[in-house]
Chain A
Amino acid sequence: SAVISQKPSRDICQRGTSLTIQCQVDSQVTMMFWYRQQPGQSLTLIATANQGSEATYESGFVIDKFPISRPNLTFSTLTVSNMSPEDSSIYLCSVARGTDGELFFGEGSRLTVL
C-alpha cells in the first residue's frame, strides 16, 4: 500500500485566484497522477507528473491552467490557476503501487470556487 497525504483537504476560493495542492507520498515513486472529480461524476486524469521532466497533460487540460511541479520522487504540487466556479471539484493525487499496480489515492482536495 501507499500513504498519500494531500493538502489542503478542502478550501473555498474566490473567482480569479489560484490554489496550490500538495501531495506527499511515503516512498519514492516514478509517476504521480492528478485526477479531477467534478460533483457527481467520474475521475478524469489531468496529467501525469514525472520527476525530472515536464508533466504530461491529457486532452482538455493545459499547463497554463494546471501547472504541476515534481521536485523529487515523493512530492508533487498541482496549481489550479485563475479559478472559476467550473473548477469546483475534488482533486486527487494518486500513485500506482502494489502487486498489480493498483492506484492508491490521497484523501482528495475538495475545492469550491465562489
Chain B
Amino acid sequence: AQKITQTQPGMFVQEKEAVTLDCTYDTSDQSYGLFWYKQPSSGEMIFLIYQGSYDEQNATEGRYSLNFQKARKSANLVISASQLGDSAMYFCAMRGDAGKSTFGDGTTLTVKP
C-alpha cells in the first residue's frame, strides 16, 4: 500500500520569498514516481513537477524544485520567489508499479503581498 503524508494543512509566505512544502511517503514498490500538483480556487488540477525514484538529481522546473531524500522518504516542494498567483492548494502524489496515483491531504499556501 502507498501512503502520502503532508503535515502542513496551511502555510503562509511573503511575496518574493521561498517556501518549502513538506511531503513524506511510504511504499513497498521498488520503482515509483513522485508528483506535485497545484489546485487553485478554480478547482483545476495542474501538474507542477516530477521525480522518479531512480533519479539521482533533484528535479527542477522553473521556480519549482523538488528536494528528494530517498532514505528519508521525503519529497518536499520548494517554490522560489513566491508570487500572489501561487496561492492555492498543493498536493503531493505518488504513482506506484500498478500505475495508480495516491494523493496526500494537501497544503493550502497563501502568499501575502
Contacts and interface: CB of A to CB of B under 8 A. Distances in A.
Given A102-B35, A107-B44, A42 B50 contact: no
A60 interface: no
Contact of B35 (A41, A103, A108, A110): A103
The range of chain B's interface size is 20 to 34
Given A33-B100, A42-B106, A90 B95 contact: no
Contacts of B44: 105, 107-108
A92 B44 CA distance: 10
A107 B40 CA distance: 12
The DSSP consensus for interface residues of chain B is: strand
A101 B34 CA distance: 10
A102 B47 contact: yes
B91 A101 contact: no
A1 to B, nearest CB: 9
Most buried by A among B43, B44, B93, B104: B43
Interface string A72-103: 00000000000000000010101010101111
Interface of B: 33, 35, 37, 43-45, 47, 50, 52, 91, 93, 95, 99-106
